[in-house]
Amino acid sequence: MSDDPAVPLLVPSNPSNVFNNPYNVGLLGGSIVGVLSGYVFSRHFYPLVRRVFSAVYTGHTKLALVVNADLHMSKGKIASQCSHASVMAYKRMRSPLQSVRYGSGLLTSWDLNGQAKVVLRAENLQVMKKLEQMAREKNIPVHKVHDAGRTEIPEGSLTVMGLGPAPIFLIDQVTGHLRLL
């Protein structure tokens, strides 16, 4: 800038105005950007990073769908009941209470690795109850599907039990002796 009085000053020369000093403007702008980026990072990015690292720690997971063979369901009924169990497992694992209980990485790991499922056959209700007890002892999520009784199965019958999603080695410890359906 020149000392020529004909050239107007772009910034008013008022010493009491804190915005007159470029240092103060930069400090204020940087503070605003810092607070906003911290908010965005803590609300959006950090939970994602935490879930991904938790999923890597968890390893590969799968969902075991155990069908009650004692009920002699048709193939379509079995498919429908297994679908109910899969959706139930996904919805329950997404809830905040379940992610605290089982860890948020289980669902993320299952999601990232293709949502592996295996459909197995249990001979009767007693076998299913024993499997449920073993799964609960190993802290594996259990999702039971009881039929509404509108088609071929009596109301309230335990048709399918979903175990997991959980680490594959835990699922195999509980269901390793069962045959594929």
The answer on 168 and 101 residing in a single domain is: yes
The answer on 145 and 90 residing in a single domain is: yes
Q: What is the pTM of this model?
A: 0.69
The answer on 138 and 74 residing in a single domain is: yes
Can you point out the beta strands (E) in 100-157?
117-122, 142-146
> What does the pLDDT look like over 19-56, one tens digit per residue?
666 666 777 778 888 887 777 776 767 666 666 665 55
Interior angle at CA 51, CA 50 and CA 54, nearest 5: 85
17 to 20, 22, 24, 121, 178: CA distances (angstroms): 5, 11, 10, 79, 79
Range(s) of the domain holding residue 42: 18-54
Token digits for 147?
A: 């039929």
The answer on 75 and 42 residing in a single domain is: no
How many domains is the chain partitioned into structurally?
2
> What does the pLDDT look like over 104-149, one tens digit per residue?
678 878 887 889 999 999 999 999 999 999 999 998 999 999 999 9
CB-facing half-sphere around the CA of 71: CA atoms within 13 A = 27
11 located within any domain: no
The answer on 102 and 77 residing in a single domain is: yes
